[in-house]
């Protein structure tokens, strides 16, 4: 597979063309955070609603490239219905996936550590690490989600 096809997997383009959970939620009860990628001008808004420590609803909205938008879309499907603790685990695994050095990828996908299994479709984003400038695109929605958590803590 060429690097390019590795980056733009079918599932990524699917989430880009048909984003899941796009939109906004009412604040309150939801909390909202905004993220920017100053390099490319991408912007994203993430709304989450948490009841009894469980993410019962999440929506995202914004403008950005296929990587930032699909990553946010996949993130929403991965964390809906999960407890905050479980979500922290998913965020951790995703960031691990994004920090795997190019070298370890050259041997193929089996070198991906066990800590990143369980990410489901999100595994498709592993091709991004070969393109370091795009890592910021892939993590934009996630960093914004973390900002939502900070909002929660403050409330």
Query: Contact residues for other proteins (CB under 8 A)?
Result: 2-4, 7-8, 13, 39-43, 63-67, 131, 134, 137
Cβ-based burial of 3 (10 A; exposed 0-12, middle 13-18, buried ≥19): exposed
Least distance CB 29 / other proteins (angstroms): 30
Can you give the C-alpha Rg of the chain in angstroms?
15
Pick between residue 66 and residue 80 the one whose CB is nearest to other proteins: 66
Pick between residue 2 and residue 114 the one whose CB is nearest to other proteins: 2
Count of residues making up the chain: 155
Pick between residue 42 and residue 146 the one whose CB is nearest to other proteins: 42
- H or E stretch covering 28: none
Distance from C-alpha of 40 to C-alpha of 95, rounded to nearest angstrom: 21
Least distance CB 72 / other proteins (angstroms): 13
Least distance CB 63 / other proteins (angstroms): 5
Distance from C-alpha of 37 to C-alpha of 7, rounded to nearest angstrom: 19
- H or E stretch covering 91: helix 84-99
Distance from C-alpha of 4 to C-alpha of 97, rounded to nearest angstrom: 18
Pick between residue 63 and residue 115 the one whose CB is nearest to other proteins: 63
Least distance CB 52 / other proteins (angstroms): 37
């Amino acid at each position: 597979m060429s690097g390019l096809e590795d980056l733009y997997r079918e599932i990524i383009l699917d989430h880009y063309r048909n984003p899941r959970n796009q939109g906004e939620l009412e604040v309150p009860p939801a909390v909202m955070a905004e993220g920017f990628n100053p390099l490319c001008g991408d912007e994203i808004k993430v709304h989450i609603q948490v009841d009894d420590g469980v993410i019962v609803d999440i929506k995202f909205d914004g403008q950005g490239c296929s990587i930032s938008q699909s990553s946010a879309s996949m993130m929403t499907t991965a964390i809906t219905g999960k407890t905050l603790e479980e979500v922290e685990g998913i965020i951790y695994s995703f960031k691990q996936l994004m920090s795997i050095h190019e070298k370890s990828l050259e041997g193929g996908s089996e070198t991906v550590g066990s800590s990143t299994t369980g990410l489901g479709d999100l595994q498709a984003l592993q091709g991004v690490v070969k393109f370091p400038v795009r890592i910021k695109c892939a993590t934009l929605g996630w960093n914004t989600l973390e900002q939502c958590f900070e909002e929660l803590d403050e409330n």
